[in-house]
Structures are given as C-alpha cells and as structure tokens.
C-alpha cells in the first residue's frame, strides 16, 4: 500500500458491514417504472402553491447524491414556505435512472438530479460539465462554471432541450475502479468489460476495454454474474454501500478520468422562468448550497469508508501503473480535442473548457499540489 493510501486510514467505528447496500438496493427498480397514473399527473397548483416532481438517477437513501437530492428538495420546500414543494422520486420510482433528464424534457417531471455526462448522447458538449479525463478538479470546475463563462456555455447547450442546469453535488476526485485482477500494464486492459460513463468511457475504450454505462443499482449484479470484469462508480462512500468489495478486491486510486464529478439539478426552463424571481433565487441558491454540502459529505466519509473496506473486507488499495496513466493521458487529450470537430455549441464549450483549464490549473499545480506533497512527506501530528 502506498504512503498516501495508508494515511487515509484514521479508524472510527461508525460503519456496519454492508449497511447501506441493503437499505436501498432492495427497492431499486433498474429497468422498470413503478409510477402510478397519479404520479404522472400535472403538478398541483392551488392558492399560489405548487408541487414539483424531482426524478433522480440515484437509489433511495443513496449516500451522498441520493441523500443530497432529497435534502435539496427539502431546502427549496422549506425556504419557499411551502409555496414550492418538491417531491422526490428515486431511481426507478417514476422513470428508469438514466432517463431522468428525458422525464424533464418530456414534461413528466419538473426537475432531475443526475450527472450531465449521462446525457452526452444528446450533446457531446454535456460531457464537459461533469467529470472530464485529466480535466479540472472539483474546485477548478466550479470556478469555470461560476466565474469564467462556463454557466453560459452550459445554458446555450441546454437551451436546445428547454432545460436549465445548475451545479448540485460534488464528489471530489473519484476512485479509479474495482478490478478482479491486478493491473500490471496496458496489456491487462485488452478486452476488459468495464463499467464507466462519459468521456472517461471513451478513454478506456481507446486503452482496449469494452465499455458500458449502467445505473448504480445494476452494477453489482453485473459484476456478480460476470457480465462485467471491472467497474467504477464514485468512491469508497458510495462503493461500500453498493457492495463491490464482495466481488472484486483490487481497488485503484485515483481516477484519471474523473478528477471531479459534479452532479446537476436540471429543470424545465420554461417552468423555472415562470416562477416569481424569489422562488427562482431559492432554487438557484439551494442548489449551490447542496453542491457544497455534498462535497463536505464525501470529504468526511470517503476516508472512513475506505478504512472499513481495507480493515474489515480485505480490499487491496492500488495505484495504476505508469504506462496506463501515460496512455490514459494521451487518449484523454485525443478525446477532448475531438469535440472541437462537433457541432458549434460543443466546439465553443470545449474551447471555453480548454482556455479555463489553462488558467485554473496554475494555482493547483503551483500551490496546492506541492503543499499536499510536502505535508505528506514532512508533517506528523
């Protein structure tokens, strides 16, 4: 185990074996819709009060994002004094998890909580506003979207679909994934059946893997049945709950395809703009608050979950070999540059992303990376 990984271990006895996987996977519908006709009815509007539906890509009570989506809904409901009540439907309760955005576009829900790279089949440019291989860290991505023109580029893409997107959840740099066998070189990737989404999936394909995307609740069964050889989702906090450690023991850090993962709140834009300005502000600010809250949640609980995976389940924490990292970087550059040849909005978005990355990475590489390296090497308490 590396020095970095060893120092993540700060034992706290707050975890129970597989506690969270059992709490939500039992009720997860991965390919069917459990909604009634009543749930699909027009949202209630009476005496200046409204009830909106939020569909999510996450299982019910899912650590981090699922809990965060519910907390976001509760923030909006409470801050509006009940004038706008948000009813949350977890993955499969109203629509399948990877059809959450479609539900908003089709008018079957007013909001969705997911990740923009899940919808890159609608516009390749949407892959830039979540996790980008060798791209921006969470803080860098937030800087681009909030202060360097990223939100406007995102708006321009989503306007094609009548959707308004906001940042609404930050997992930080993710884990690289779960593998049955240790990876010693790029050769070990050839033909590997691997679950991963977004531009990262393109990178792993170029490295030789056979890539598929699937929702959180489908991954365990696919690993168990042998449909998948390996999978990545987010990191220890989520992965412990999903139970991947029961199938694979080689856990790789860090992800080079998802230096950041930002969840989004996607809203029917016409309905959003029809709201009074104070309710629009409540939604916008609640999403921003939840984005930061989820970041803190993962920062606190990823290392605790990793401790449990190592100490209680015998997971082996590993780092990718240098040739995989180097080949991944080359493939990532090719994947990002290829977006320049897409439609006009995607081309504009990728140019904005590249220009912003050239600026924001300076602080990270000049100040934060050397500091973390020095702290690891010299500082003890």
Cα–Cα dist 329/277, whole Å: 44
Show me where the domains of the chain are located: 3-8+15-122+161-170+263-301
- Give Cα 312 distance to the centre of its chain: 26
- Does this model's pTM top 0.95? My answer is no
Q: Please list, in sequence order, all residues whose beta carbon lies within 8 angstroms of the beta carbon of residue 325, skipping any fewer than 6 positions away.
A: 256
Using the predicted structure, report yes or no on whether residue 17 has a pLDDT greater than 80: no
* Architecture of the CATH domain 3-8+15-122+161-170+263-301: 3-Layer(aba) Sandwich (3.40)
pLDDT of residue 48: 85
Identify which of 264, 38, 275, 34 has the alpha carbon closest to the alpha carbon of residue 155. 264
Q: Is 63 exposed, middle or buried (0-12, 13-18, 19+ CB in 10 A)?
A: buried
Which pLDDT belongs to residue 76? 98
Confidence of residue 22 (pLDDT cuts 50, 70, 90): very low
Query: CA 297, CA 356: separation in Å to the nearest integer?
Result: 27
What percent of the chain has pLDDT above 70? 88
Tell me what the mean pLDDT of segment 116-131 comes to. 96
Please check the confidence at residue 41 and state whether its pLDDT lies above 80. Answer: no
Alpha carbons 160 and 365: distance in angstroms, whole number = 36
**Alpha-carbon gap, residue 342 to 157, rounded angstroms:** 13
pLDDT digits (tens, 9 = 90+) for 211-236: 999 999 999 999 999 999 999 999 99
Query: Of 38-42, 65-69, 165-169, where does mean pLDDT reach its minimum?
Result: 38-42
The pLDDT of residue 303: 98
Instruction: Please identify which residue in the block is written with the tokens 């609404």.
Output: 168
Task: Find where tokens 């990292």 sit.
Answer: 325
Contacts by residues 299-303 (CB-CB < 8 Å, ≥ 24 positions apart):
299/172, 301/63, 301/64, 301/236, 301/237, 302/172, 302/235, 302/236, 302/237, 303/8, 303/9, 303/10, 303/236
44-96 pLDDT, tens digit per residue, is 555 689 999 999 999 999 999 999 999 999 999 999 999 999 999 999 999 99
């Amino acid at each position: 185990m590396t020095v970095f990984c060893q120092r993540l271990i700060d034992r706290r006895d707050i975890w129970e074996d597989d506690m969270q996987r059992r709490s939500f996977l039992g009720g997860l519908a991965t390919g069917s819709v459990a909604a009634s006709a009543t749930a699909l009815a027009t949202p209630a509007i009476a005496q200046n009060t409204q009830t909106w539906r939020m569909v999510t890509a996450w299982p019910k009570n899912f650590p981090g994002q699922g809990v965060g989506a519910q907390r976001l809904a509760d923030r909006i409901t409470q801050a509006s004094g009940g004038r706008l009540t948000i009813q949350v439907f977890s993955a499969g309760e109203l629509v399948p998890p990877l059809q959450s955005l479609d539900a908003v576009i089709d008018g079957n829900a007013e909001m969705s909580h997911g990740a923009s790279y899940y919808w890159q089949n609608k516009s390749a440019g949407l892959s830039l506003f979540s996790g980008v291989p060798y791209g921006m860290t969470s803080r860098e991505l937030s800087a681009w979207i909030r202060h360097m023109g990223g939100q406007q580029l995102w708006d321009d893409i989503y306007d094609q679909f009548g959707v308004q997107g906001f940042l609404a959840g930050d997992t930080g740099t993710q884990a690289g994934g779960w593998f049955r066998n240790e990876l010693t070189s790029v050769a070990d990737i050839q033909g590997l059946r691997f679950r991963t989404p977004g531009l990262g999936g393109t990178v792993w394909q170029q490295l030789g893997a056979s890539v598929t995307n699937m929702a959180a609740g489908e991954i365990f069964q696919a690993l168990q049945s042998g449909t998948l050889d390996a999978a990545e989702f987010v990191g220890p906090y989520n992965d412990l709950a999903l139970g991947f450690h029961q199938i694979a023991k080689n856990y790789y850090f860090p992800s080079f395809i998802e230096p950041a993962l930002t969840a989004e709140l996607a809203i029917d834009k016409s309905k959003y703009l029809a709201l009074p300005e104070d309710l629009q502000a409540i939604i916008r600010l609640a999403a921003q608050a939840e984005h930061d809250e989820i970041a803190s949640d993962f920062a606190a609980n990823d290392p605790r979950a990793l401790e449990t995976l190592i100490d209680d389940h015998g997971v082996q924490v590993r780092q990718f070999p240098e040739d995989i990292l180097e080949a991944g970087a080359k493939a990532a550059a090719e994947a990002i540059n290829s977006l320049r040849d897409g439609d006009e909005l995607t081309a504009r978005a990728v140019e904005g992303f590249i220009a912003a990355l050239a600026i924001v990475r300076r602080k990270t590489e000049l100040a934060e990376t050397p500091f973390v390296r020095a702290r690891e090497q010299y500082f003890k308490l």
